[in-house]
Amino acid sequence: MDARPPPELRKPHPPSLSPRALALAGWSAFLVAGLIFLAIAWNVTGRSTLVALDSRLADWLHGHTDGALTAFFFALTNLHSPGAIAGASAIFGVVLARLRQWYWLLTLAVGVGGGMLINLVLKAAYERLRPHFDDPLLALTTFSFPSGHTAGAVLFYGVLAAFLVSRFYDWRARAACVAGAAGAVALVAFSRMYLGAHYLSDVLAAACASTVWLVLCLAGGHALVRGRLKLHWLASAFLAFLLIATAVLIPEEWWARFVDAVDAMNPLVALLVFCSVYAAALLLLLPAWIFPIAAGAIFGFLWGIVAAMVAVAASAIVGLLVARYVVRGRMERVARKNDVFKAVDRAVLKQPRKIVALLRMASVIPEGVKSYFLGLTRVRLDDYMAGTLAGVAPDLLVKVYLGAAGRGALVHGGALNWALLGAGIVALLALTFIVGRKVRKALKL
């Protein structure tokens, strides 16, 4: 006999938050936090007015300390040290394991562990010294930018709040979880400033950088739970993360040295060297996404477009010739067993330029692989090159623009330059998603 209660008496499943609203909120937080971090990082390395504000605020807080508050903030900061966060994460992990919440456990491990590792990398990249006082409450010799305590709090409480939100029924309980997590992070961040361990920009940068990583981890965990983790989403997220990481891990003086080295070369030599290295990276299937961005940063928008297009065209020709005349026999035997290859081979005979262009727009496939793949088909060289240049043009235009705008933001600063950089990042993400979706539908990849 079935002992289960009738459907009307069963406890309802917690109402799911709108997937579209979650996606909008999450990726908006990702972009906003990433851009704020970039702005703070530029101000810190450029020693702008934000650095002066940091010093004034640190001096004011140090001059207004109170015995009881100092004891409270010492206890709070010790409870949120990297070791304490690791211990709390381990306890939370045990709870998740007992509940058999394996995806949440993975999200916790990757979120907290990966986020703290990123924090260490950022500290080593920027090497900012901590506030200095004649009578310090805390005497630390490690680097301060960004704050490790704040980063750990954002990551741990972020995952905890997200898990609790997924379990509670009432919207007020969910709001309380989010507010509690935000309040805890704010207290930890303020404790580090109050005790003289960090500047304001240190804790703000830590909160932003950790939010970027947290959004990636929560989005990945959510997709895993629903069985919707797709390659193109991973590629888009990873690309966005690498774009931000490339900018934040290269302080202003590093950019200056790099630009000086390139400027010392003859312009034509610099262009040829760049194109050769870029083309070789494509043919060797190395990560080459940074090259068009670098082209914009080094040569500017117009010449950057020329450099990127020449490099891609050269690699496309060499890849086709290698596949068609050097290693054709062995590669073709493998390819002929693949249904996708057979379909593309038939399609390029009917609409060669369109098919080549669509295939070039599929961002999840490395350009070198596409060149070798198309070299085995019966496409003519003129159709192949026309389709290749048309297919790569949108992606290269946006990336070269992003590099040119990024250099302007990092070297010159200013709200307009940062706004142009932000617009470029948004455009690249939109292009990757919209074009990629249409291409996969057209090619049935």
Write the burial class of residue 83 (CB in 10 Å: 0-12 exposed, 13-18 middle, 19+ buried): exposed
Handedness of CA 36, 41, 43, 44 (dihedral sign): positive
Active-site choice (13, 62, 132, 198)? 198
Active-site choice (62, 80, 149, 222)? 149
Q: Is the pLDDT reported for residue 188 higher than 90? A: yes
Closest by Cα among 171, 156, 155 to 16: 171
Phi, psi of 413 (to 5 degrees): 70, -160
Q: Is the pLDDT reported for residue 257 higher than 70? A: no
Q: Which pLDDT does position 7 carry in this prediction?
A: 46
Residue boundaries of the structural domains of the chain: 19-229, 254-443
pTM here is 0.58
* pLDDT tens-digit map of 391-441: 888 888 888 887 777 665 544 455 555 555 555 556 555 555 555 555 555
Closest by Cα among 208, 308, 303 to 248: 208
* pLDDT tens-digit map of 207-220: 988 988 888 788 77
pLDDT band for 179, please (50, 70, 90 cuts): very high
Q: Is the pLDDT reported for residue 14 higher than 50? A: no
Q: Which pLDDT does position 299 carry in this prediction?
A: 84
149 labelled catalytic? yes
| Cis before 366? omega within 30 | no
The contacts found for 334-342 with CB under 8 angstroms, 24 or more apart, are: 335/373, 335/376, 340/445, 341/373, 341/376, 341/377
- For 393, the token pair is 């043009």
